Amino acid sequence: MDDRQRYDQATAHLDPPFAVLDLAALRSNASGMVQRAAGKPIRVASKSIRSRPVLERILAMDGFTGTMAFTLPEALWLVSTGVRDVLVAYPTADRAALAELASDTTAAQEITVMVDRIEHLDLIESAVADVQNRNRHEIRVCLDIDASFVAFGGRFRAGVRRSPIREPEQAADLAAATAKRPGFRLVGLMAYEAQIAGVGDDPPGNPALTQAIRWMQAQSRRELIMRRGRIVQAVRQVTELEFVNGGGTGSIEKTVREKAVTEVAAGSGFFHPRLFDFYRGFTGRPAALFALPVVRRPAPDVVTVLGGGYSASGSPGQNRLPQPYLPCGLRYDSDEGAGEVQTPLLGQAAEDLRIGDRVWFRHAKAGELCERFASLHLIDGDKVVDEVPTYRGEGRTFL
């Protein structure tokens, strides 16, 4: 039985649209990631999962320690349900959530927030000021370091614009300022090299771009190994650190080779969405899919499915659209793309589809799929073995 038959058979009792997670593919992806991490723990990026039961399943597997959350309210919620060791990877300006963090013993023990400038510390301090002194807990803090690649005197940049902290001296100064402030405890460093971890080095159909990406990534790695090492050394002279976090799905085996890095973050690799097909260093199995029903046939080689316009975030482009996955050989109409309420699909494969059949898609990114569906149907072999809520299904939409 091929995958399409297996998925169709397993979900024959369901009416699309719905989303599924293939557990065998998830397990295989997870074990590939653990192998690549070569003994260093992987912190699970929840933004790329966005389903609590799935996150818990992953955290129960060997090799995964801690969660990387994307908002503080999310982290507070996760901790209230028993998740431990949660690093909020993006700074927060949510005053109510900060006050809650400072006043909740378990949350304050389990959650670490991100800062990259004194202003963040000021904001946190003012947000927790109303929490009575005797009920106020220390806030665990991680420093975010800029891991982007800059060349030609600043005229070329690759990576994400996040932290202004780039040099060892800057990091040590902020570490010292944090460490000496009452109410804060500096426990970690994070430096995410998006230009390596999130950029496939084997993109299709553009050899010049491929060469440029490989050149950039090689230079960036060389530069980062030295700089990250020096930054960690400088900060460790100011204070002990519990962890130094780096990397992402696309860089696991590279990031863990750096001695200064104690753990790597990863999330997308579990679902293995479309954008992660284009790396030389690893492969994965598409694990998260969604099914849409064929509802029209405008022409013999065109079918129209209901819904579909679930574009991924990021710089807009074709590669942000979901991939019509099964049956193979379907493509978008270039005038319509993936539509708000319906999506025409062209190609020979359309000829064999009938009204009521389903087309299986992959999202371009991982967790954003879960903002579209209230649940994931878990498939093991040729059966649906469970249905679990997404964040949205639990009424939680953090971003």
Ligand X SMILES: Cc1ncc(COP(=O)(O)O)c(C=O)c1O
Closest CA to 309 of 337, 332, 342, 338: 338
Residue 252: strand, helix, or coil: helix
Which of 87, 121 has the CB closer to ligand X? 87
What type of residue sits at position 92?
T
Report the DSSP beta bridge partners of residue 149.
158
Which of 200, 337 has the CB closer to ligand X? 200
DSSP class per residue in 9-49: HHTTTSPSSEEEEEHHHHHHHHHHHHHHHTTS-EEEEGGGT
Instruction: Compute CA distances 352 → 244, 291, 307, whole Å.
Output: 53, 17, 20
Which of 73, 246 has the CB closer to ligand X? 246
Residue of minimal Cβ distance to ligand X: 248
The residues binding ligand X (CB under 6 A) are: 45, 48, 89, 192, 197-198, 248-249, 265-269, 366
CB of 365 to ligand X, least distance (A): 8
CB of 282 to ligand X, least distance (A): 12
Which of 58, 366 has the CB closer to ligand X? 366
Asked if 64 and 41 count as a contact pair (C-beta separation under 8 A), the reply is yes
Distance CA 92, CA 81 (A): 21
Distance CA 29, CA 236 (A): 34
User: What's the count of helices (H) and strands (E) in the chain, helices before strands?
Assistant: 13, 19
Which of 87, 97 has the CB closer to ligand X? 87
- What are the structure tokens assigned to 111, written together? 């959650």
CB of 197 to ligand X, least distance (A): 6
CB of 342 to ligand X, least distance (A): 30
Which secondary structure element, helix H or strand E, spans residue 101, and what is its range? Answer: helix 95-103
According to DSSP, the β-strands at 263-266 and 243-246 are parallel
- What are the structure tokens assigned to 302, written together? 């065109």
CB of 261 to ligand X, least distance (A): 12
CB of 192 to ligand X, least distance (A): 4
Asked if 284 and 275 count as a contact pair (C-beta separation under 8 A), the reply is no
CB of 216 to ligand X, least distance (A): 18
Which of 48, 323 has the CB closer to ligand X? 48
Question: Taking each helix axis from N to C terminus, what angle separates 118-128 and 168-179, rounded to the nearest 10 degrees?
Answer: 20
Residue 75: strand, helix, or coil: helix
CB of 249 to ligand X, least distance (A): 3
HSE of 366, CA atoms in CB hemisphere, 13 A: 28
Distance CA 171, CA 321 (A): 38
CB of 207 to ligand X, least distance (A): 25
Which of 17, 248 has the CB closer to ligand X? 248
Bond preceding residue 17 cis, omega within 30 of 0: yes
Closest CA to 107 of 66, 134, 139: 139
Which of 69, 294 has the CB closer to ligand X? 69
CB of 57 to ligand X, least distance (A): 17
Which of 48, 304 has the CB closer to ligand X? 48
Which of 128, 199 has the CB closer to ligand X? 199
